[in-house]
Structure 1
Amino acid sequence: MILTSCKNNSTKAITIKEDIAVLASDAYEGRETGTKGEQEAAEYISKRFKDLGLEPKGTNGFFQTFSFKPKTDPHSEVSYVIMAEDSTITGTNILGFINNNAEQTIIIGAHYDHLGFGSEGSLYRGKEKAIHNGADDNASGVAVMLDLISKLKNANKSNNYLFMAFSGEEMGLLGSNYFVKNPTIDIKKANYMINMDMVGRLKADSTLAVYGVGTSPRFKQSLMANNTRFKLIEKESGVGPSDHTSFYLSDIPVLHFFTGQHEDYHKPGDDSDKLNYEGMEAISNYIFDVISDLDKAGKLQFRKTKNESEETPRFKVGLGVIPDYMFDGKGMRIDGVSEDKPAQKAGLQKGDIVIKLGDSTIVDMMSYMRALSVFNEGDSTKVIVDRNGKQIEVDLKF
C-alpha cells in the first residue's frame, strides 16, 4: 500500500512526526529523483499544500517539472531539456503560495528527494540492496516547512510566501537551480530565502548551524535577538552544499538551517525513529520568530560573502571519518568512523578530537583540511587526538 494521506483531514493538524512517518516510509523507496517513489512523495506534499490552503504556484498546478540528462562528467554542467526523452530524468518541484498582496515575497524551501536504493552519493557499503529513507535528509526539512505554513498562514502579512519542496538536490541542486532560471514569481521581488536541510537531529547541547548570516546585514541581529535556546554556529557564506546556494547566486539573501552530520548520513540507517522531534518543533518556532522579527523590515539588503568553498584545499586521501561540523572548540572532533579506513585501523574513535596531524596543529576544519592536503595514498604519519582530556598519539597509514 502506498501512503498518501496519513490522517490528512481538516479537523486535525498533522504533526511534524506524522509528516516524516509518511515521507521517510519504505513505501516511497527513498524518493530518488524521477522515480515512482519521488512522484508519490510529490503527490503527498502537494496534497498537504492544498489542505493547508496554499495557492498553486507551479507551471502545472503545484508542480514544476524539469527534465535533464544525467552528467557523465562530474565537472560538467547539467543539461536541461525541453522535452523528456530517452535517457533523461524528470524531477518535480512543488510550489505553493500565500498571497498577502505584498510587494515582496519570502521563499521558504527544503528538498524532498533522496538516494532511493543507494544511488551515487550513498555511503552504504553493504552487499544487500537497501532503501535510503532519508528521514533527516531531508524529510525533516520538508516537515518543518509544512509546520511553518500553518504558523504563517494568518501572521506576518508584510510579505507574500512561496513554499518550495525541491527535487534533484542530491544530484546537484538541480530543482532550485532550474527554478531560479525559470521562476514562477517575479524573482526580483524575492526578499530573502530560508532553506532547511537536515534539521532532524538536534543534539543535547542544542547546537544549530546557520549558514548565510553574512548575506544581509539584518540577519545576525534577528538571529541573536530571537535565540533563547540554541548554541548557534554562524557561517557567513551564502554558498554551501544545499539549495540556498542557487538563490544566493541570484543575489537573494539566504539563511540555511542545519543540525549537523551523523553516522547515518547517506546510509539506510537514516530513519525516522532516530530524529529529535522536540528539536524540530523548537527550530520551527525559532524560524517563525526570526521571520516575525523581519516582518516590518522591508526589502532586505543583499550582501556578497566570501565563498569559503573556493578556499577549501584539495586532497587525495582521507582519514575515513565523519567530522563534527558543529564542534566549535579547538581541533576537529570525530563524529563517526568508517569501517576499514585509516582512522579505524589506527584505533581512532568517535568523540576523539584531532589536534595534530603530521607536523600540523589542527585548530578547526580548515586547518584539518590543509593538513590532509599534503598527504598521498601510502603515506604514513602520526596523529595526536584528545580523548576525554588525555592526549593519545597513534600511527596512521593512508
Structure 2
Amino acid sequence: MKTILAALVLTSLVNCKKADSPGEAPPEKLATTSLLSTTTFNVSPSTNFNSTFWAGVQTALASGPVDVIFASGTYTRTATLTLSNLGDSTNLLTLKAATAGSAVIDGAIAKLMNVNVCKNVRLEGLKFTGATTGYALTIVRSQDVAIENCQFIDLPSVGYGALGVHYETTNRVLVRGCTFARVGYDSHAHMIYGAYGIQRLSVVGNSFTDCSGAFVRFRGDLSSKGVVYDNDFISTGTYLTGLNPVFVEVPVFNDVNPGNERMGTEFVVTKNTFSYGTAGSQTTRYALVFHHSGFNPVDRNYLISAADATTLNSGTVTQKRTIMSSQLGLDGNEIHFGGNTNTNVQYNVVYRCWNGYGSTGPWTGVASIGTAVNAGGMPTTEAAAIAYYP
C-alpha cells in the first residue's frame, strides 16, 4: 500500500522537549529529504514477522521510505523479533506504534527485539515490558538508529539491560524522548547498556526512574563520544531493597591479565537533572563514574597507588589531570560535565577502583575528579547535542 506524503521534511532537527510528538522529524543524520512515496506495512499481534515479511520491507526500501505501523495490542513474543541486514542509506525505515505506547511488546524470553546489522532505522512509540530475562531491545553492529518516544517500563526480570547497544561497528544511535522505569533485579542490569566499542551513543531528553544497576553505561573497548543531555535521572531509594545506584557509568572489567578493556574518554554530560532520594542506601550517590575492576591493560595503570588516589582527591587540576592522562588514559579536557541540576548527589564525577578476578591492586576506593574535567564547551540545544561528535 502506498501513501503519498504531501510534505516530508526529514533533514532539519526540531528542537524539542521530552514530551515531543512521536510525529516529529527524525534527526538529520538518520534520514535525508525525500519526495518519494512511503510504503506502509500495517501489522498486528497476529502478523508473522518471518523472513518473507522482512524481505518485502527491504525491497520496498529501494523505492522510498517505509513505515511499519504496529496496531494497538500486545505482541507477546515466544521468539525474538529480529531485524537483520535491513535498511537503506537514503530511505528511512520506521517501525512505529499507531498510537504511542499502544503497541506493547512483552514475553518471557531472553530478548524481545534485536536490530542487527541495520542502518537508517527508527523505532517510535513502542512499549517494552514484562518478564524478558536478558534485554528488551538490542542494537547490534548497526548505524544511524533512533529509538524515540518508546517506553521501557516494569522489566523486573532483566539481567542485562532494557536497551543494549553493542559492538565496535555500532555508530550514531540516538535514544530520545523515551521513558525508562523500574528495570532489573541486581547490579548487572541497566536501563541503557552501551558496550564493546560503540561510538556516538546520544541519550537525549529521556526520563529514567529506578534501576537496579547503573542507569546508563558506556562499557569498555574505548566506547566513546557519548552524549547525555537534558535527561531526568531519578532514584527514589525505594526500589527493591532500597537501591541508589550510579547514574552514568564508564566501566571496564578486566578479568584476564593483562587486561583487554580500556575506558573511553570523550563524553559530554550536561543539562540533566540528577536526583537521589533520601531513602535507601546513601553510599553510591554519584552522577558520573569512571570505574575499573580487575587487572591492568598493558598501556594503563588503573590500579593506582594510595598516594595517587590522594592526589586525585585533593590535588590541583594539573596534578589530577596528569595522573588521569598518564595512568588512566583519561583526558580531563575531553570529559565535559557541567550545567546539571543535582539533588542529594554526593559526587559529580569520580574514579572508582576495585580489585576483582584475582587482582591485588595497592588501593581501592573512590576519588573525586570533578574539578579536573571540563566544565565548558557544552552544547546548549538538542540539535547541537546530537551533532556534538561529527
The one of the two structures with greater contact order (alpha-carbon pairs below 8 A, sep at least 6) is 1
How would you bin the TM-score normalised by the shorter chain? under 0.3
| Higher normalized helix content (fraction of residues) | 1
TM-score (normalizing by structure 1): 0.26
More strand as a share of residues: 2
- TM-score, reference length from structure 2: 0.26
